[in-house]
Chain A
């Protein structure tokens, strides 16, 4: 069991939690992720590591309540425990494992979107500690959904906040801002790292490809075990099929088949809906403990 030592609602529906997990905190690096399972009945849900405290033995996660599992997690309080917390999984980010001298020569821009803003933070922080300055573009719906601005102000050289509705900062999408920086402000970047919704990463990738700007994205496909044993998270990168959980989660954006990745991400949309219906029905009528799903399907035939 893993204890929740801190819980904050950053903005509506986005939560931050510190979870006590000594072994994970000891070996975690930016870019890696964990898998959590809230309780006995829960699914295994991948979440990117947003920070860690090796002395306290805690790992920070930030998540948005989207489906049943994240809602279950959000319903827990400080002091509660979750059943399973495993990691760190995947490869650490290239910018934290790369040589300092090599990185000093590069001009790096990070593009963060929505809840993907959180995992960008430890990377920027670690680069700052090495004396490497980077630009950061954050995209969000409105001022009300903006997270971690204060933290980024301290570690980013330049921070550009974009809102869809123009309520704060730049009015427009992250791609509009990136384009402006490169064309109007004549910024010459050597590396772009984008983390956020798949659709955002796709459009960032399309834009930077036209500029020939090397781009890395952190993919978030459906996962089950997260250790390479099932292939649920497979993506096409160049001509190869890769498992995001062990070969990634970071890949060269310009080689990714985003349309396929987005299609695969929505695979269980209907199943999740079905699951919700079954869950609602469960409280209404008695059920046998075995094969409920099968029986409902039989009935449907």
Chain B
């Protein structure tokens, strides 16, 4: 057996910094078959248990190896409604691949890229499986069309429910369309296509509907006869630091920057939305969102840097993303924290005062707490600052619906077993419940809630 995985072809850094095309080309058939061959088909596969939606990984890899790509796609589809997305954005090193036996003495099987290959192959070859149970006439509303909502909707549609998704923005996909950049996740060829598979299953999507304003949870139940509701409205409320100068022109949240770039396609001249094209961009934070913003800034022609108060070891972004960012020329200012944004006479950013940090004792999260080094102030030269400090749930739905309880961080409280909120018949999952987390965790919450809603409505009608 080969110790090393079949390498994945990528766009070269010097080319890709000048375009928004996908960095990774993925496997072709020949490469996929070679890599599939590395799977040892464990009898008790640990990879399956480490996948949040428990895809039968050895089975789909075996089907792929036998040339039955349709069968492989069906196997993945039993567990996941968004494989082309997940194959690209899951942190596999912490999940399926992190548990792969082959990884102990060599490199783990490249499960993510194999999943992506199978999903892409099916899309390119127009293979669609629309198998589902006969309609039961029961209406379920899904609030939000991000990974949690799409997953919940897909699972319920397969069970025969009449599902409508309500989305506040003009395009479905949630963070998949406004947050994750084109160079990691192509919008038209992957996200739109994958969502269209749900439409084939009969899921209806109504965009431009803000639950809490355009309609309410109550009006959906009372006036539109929805018997079950899933809230997957995410955590879209950006945090700011509260430091001096933060409202200067040129300071924005990563959500704003990425929404302009990804959803509004501001980087293309045939789209009308403008985007700040700073020459020197400083991104505060080091999560995946921060890497996405810093790499977007590089592609818009800026000198781009990450400002992070802890050290390399604590960086929350995926290792692959950090590696890509550095390859693309993103400067890393670690153990550095902003204290004030400097503003010119016209109100635009002209720099940022930062302090150096050192790591002290571990805090509640187990990470060593960064402490300011006295007298270490210095100025970073920049004309744009992007705050990527995390997000919290939007309070709109909870505040306009009586009976849905939230915790003090604004997260919706649910029964962990089935996803039900404190309001009967109303379920929730994803970032709206946990605060900002990952795509795959949102999907697994959507799955759990779908079976919770199914059980609830079966019980109600028995």
Contacts and interface: CB of A to CB of B under 8 A. Distances in A.
Interface of A: 23-24, 27, 37, 41-44, 68-69, 72, 83-89, 224-225, 227-232, 234-236, 241, 246, 260, 263-264, 266-268, 271-272, 274-275, 278-279, 282, 287-298, 301
Contacts of A296: 269
A224 B247 contact: no
Contacts of B276: 267, 271
Contact of A297 (B240, B249, B277): B277
Interface of B: 18-21, 168-170, 178, 207-210, 213-215, 236-238, 240, 242, 246-247, 249-250, 252-253, 255-256, 259-260, 264-277, 299-301, 346-347, 391, 394, 396
Contact of A298 (B247, B250, B275, B301): B301
Contacts of B275: 271, 293
B169 A23 contact: no
14 contacts: A23-B209, A27-B213, A43-B271, A89-B210, A225-B168, A227-B396, A230-B255, A271-B277, A290-B267, A293-B266, A293-B300, A294-B18, A296-B269, A297-B300
Most buried by B among A23, A241, A291, A295: A291
A237 to B, nearest CB: 11
Nearest to A85: B208
Nearest to A233: B256
A43 B237 CA distance: 21
Contacts of A241: 240, 242, 246-247
Contacts of A289: 268, 270
A37 B270 contact: no
Nearest to A68: B272
B236 A294 contact: no
B267 A291 contact: yes
Nearest to A268: B274
B396 A37 contact: no
B256 A232 contact: yes
A228 B394 contact: yes
Contacts of B299: 291, 294
B255 A229 contact: yes
A173 to B, nearest CB: 25
A282 to B, nearest CB: 6
Contacts of B300: 293-294, 297
A interface, by DSSP: helix, strand, loop or mixed? mixed
Contacts of B237: 228-229
A224 B238 contact: no
B270 A282 contact: yes
Nearest to B394: A228
Contacts of B274: 43, 268, 271-272, 274-275
Contacts, number: 159
B interface, by DSSP: helix, strand, loop or mixed? loop
A231 B255 contact: yes
B21 A236 contact: no
A267 B394 contact: no
Contact of B236 (A23, A227, A291, A298): A227
Given A86-B168, A287-B269, A291-B20, A27 B214 contact: yes
A301 B303 CA distance: 12
Contacts of A83: 170
A8 B29 CA distance: 59
A84 B269 contact: no
Nearest to A45: B272
Contacts of B215: 23, 27
Contacts of B396: 227-228, 246
A289 to B, nearest CB: 7
Given A293-B300, A294-B18, A228 B236 contact: yes
Given A24-B214, A271-B276, A294-B300, A230 B249 contact: no
Given A225-B178, A295-B18, 7 more contacts: A43-B272, A231-B238, A231-B252, A246-B394, A263-B346, A282-B269, A290-B20
A297 B259 contact: no
B247 to A, nearest CB: 6
Nearest to A21: B208
Given A225-B259, A292-B268, A86 B170 contact: yes
B259 A229 contact: yes
A57 B352 CA distance: 50
Contacts of B255: 229-231
A229 B347 CA distance: 23
A227 B264 contact: no
Most buried by A among B168, B210, B255, B276: B210
Given A43-B272, A227-B236, A289-B268, A86 B347 contact: no
A290 B269 contact: no
A232 to B, nearest CB: 5
Contacts of A86: 168, 170, 208-210, 214
A43 B249 contact: no
Nearest to B277: A297
Contacts of A235: 247
Contacts of A297: 277, 300-301
A89 B256 contact: no
A263 B249 contact: yes
